[in-house]
A and B are shown apart, each in its own frame.
Chain A
C-alpha cells in the first residue's frame, strides 16, 4: 500500500461552505493582510498558510469515500458516498473511457450516506469496467439497486454497463483482494456495520466508520485493540464528543475522538485520522476537534507519539 486518499469525509449528508461563510473568510484574510509586505508569491503562500486550515481551507463536503492506492493496477475504495463522484471523474481523466479498469469497493454498510454516490459514478456506466463490491451485509446488492428504483431515481441500476460482482465477507475471515489481505470486523451500528483491516507488504490500514465503540466490556475493547494492532493508519469515526456519544446520542452508532485516541494508543497504531465529521460542525469546530485531540494524545501519551489528522476531501496520506 502506498497512499490513502480521501474523496469524501463527512458523516450523514454532504455539506458545503455558504456564500456568507466564504465572504467572511475572505474579509478576515484581507483584513489580516493589511500592512504586511506580500511582494512575492512565496510571501502570499506563507501568509495564506498562517491563516490556518479553518480559514484558508475547508474540511469539505462529500460523504464517505476513501481510496487506498496499493501500487497495483486495480483501484480500491471504501464506501460509495458522494465522494465517489469526483473520484470517478479523476479516474476517467487519468485513463479515458476506453481503458477498462477494475474497482474493488469495500462497504462499511448500506446506509444512504455510504451508497448515495454510486448513481453518479460514471465508470459504472462504461462497458468493460469491472466493479467488485465487498461487504458483510446480505442485502448489499438489493440496497444498491433499490436506491435507483422509481420514484427515487430516474436511471435504473441495470443502466450500468460495467460488470458488477458482489462478494460476501464473513467477520474474522482473512480474504485476499487486489493484492491485499483484508479482515472484517462486525461493528455496533443500527443494521450492523463492518470495519476493514487492509494489509500488504508489512503495512496495515484500518477503516472503521459508523461504529459505536462503547468499550462497555473488556472483550469489546480488546477486539478493537487487536484489530488496530500496529496499524500505520486508522481511519476512525469521530463524529461526536464523548459526552454526546454516551448520553443524548447513545445508540446512534457513532464514536468520539477520545475513544479513537485510547484505542490507537492501546494498539500501538501510528496515525489516527478523524473521519465521518458531524455535518453540523463547521470548519472551525473540526479544527478545534483536531487541536483538542492532539492535546489529549500529548497529555495521555505513555509510548511513542500517535500522529493525528482530521480527514478532509482531498487529503492524501503517504504510508
Chain B
C-alpha cells in the first residue's frame, strides 16, 4: 500500500493507493491515526482521497471507523472522496455510506469541512 498526505490550512488530505485489505490494515491504521493530531494540521479534519483505492475490505473499513471515532473525540471530521464505483458499492453494501461522510471530489469534501482548506486546495 502506498499512502501520501498533504495539509491544506486546517485539513489534511490523505491519499492511499491500491488494496486496503487485511494484509495492509495495520499499516494503514499506523499511517492514518497520527495524521489526526492537530499538530499534523488536521485541526478541522481529515479527507481521504480514495481515487486510487481499488478495494477496501472489512478491516480497512474498521480502520476508517476507528479514525472517525478519534476525529470526533477531538471535535474534527473525517470524510472520504473520489471513490471508484466498486469501492462506492462496498461502502453501500456494508452500510458505511451511513456512517462516514462521502463526497464526489476532494474539493467538495474540503468545502464541506473548511472553507479555508478549500481555498488553499484551489490555490495549490
Which residues does chain B contribute within 8 Å of A242, judged by CB atoms?
A: 58, 61, 94-96
How far is A218 from B57 in the complex, measured between Cα atoms in Å? 13
> B54 → chain A, closest Cβ, in Å?
10
Distance A246 CA – B26 CA, assembled complex (angstroms): 16
Known contacts A221-B22, A292-B93, A295-B93: A247-B55 contact under CB 8 Å: no
Option from B22, B26, B55, B94 in Cβ contact (under 8 Å) with A258: B94
Give the complex CA separation of A124 and B123 in angstroms: 77
Task: Using CB atoms and an 8 Å cutoff, list the residues of chain B in contact with chain A.
Answer: 22, 26, 55, 57-59, 61-62, 65, 86, 89-90, 92-96, 98-99
Question: A193 near B: Cβ within 8 Å?
Answer: no
Residue with the greatest number of chain A CB neighbours at <10 A, chosen from B59, B94, B96: B94
Interface string of A192-223 (1 = CB under 8 A from B): 00000000000000000000001110100100
In the assembled complex, A259 has its CB within 8 A of some CB on chain B: yes
Contact status B96-A243, CB under 8 Å: yes
Complex Cα distance A218/B23, Å?
8
> How many A-B residue contacts, CB cutoff 8 Å?
58
Chain A contact-residue range equals 20 to 34
User: Distance (Å) between the CB of B23 and the closest chain A CB?
Assistant: 8
Closest residue of B by beta carbon distance from A245:
B58
B95 cross-chain contacts in A, Cβ below 8 A: 241-244
Enumerate the 5 nearest inter-chain pairs by beta-carbon distance, A residue then B residue, closest first. A242-B94, A241-B95, A243-B95, A292-B93, A296-B93
Residues B98 and A215 in contact, CB atoms below 8 Å apart: no
Is B94 touching A300 in the complex (CB atoms < 8 A)? no
| Interchain CB contact (< 8 A) of B58 among A218, A244, A259 | A259
Whole-angstrom distance between the alpha carbons of A145 and B82 in the complex?
Answer: 57
Verify B65–A247 contact, CB threshold 8 A. yes
A262 CB contacts on chain B under 8 angstroms: 22, 57-58
Complex contact B65–A258 (CB within 8 A): no
Residue of B nearest to A260 (CB): B58
- Give bound CA distance, A5 to B94, whole Å: 28
Known: A241-B95, A258-B94. A299 touches B58 (CB 8 A): no
Residues of the B chain whose Cβ atoms lie less than 8 Å from the Cβ of A299: 86, 89-90
In Å, the complex CA distance between A233 and B46 comes to 42
Query: Roughly how many angstroms separate A247 CA and B98 CA in the complex, as a whole number?
Result: 12
- Assess whether B98 is in contact with A246, with CB atoms less than 8 Å apart: no
Report which residue of B26, B55, B90 has the largest number of chain A beta carbons within 10 angstroms of its beta carbon. B90
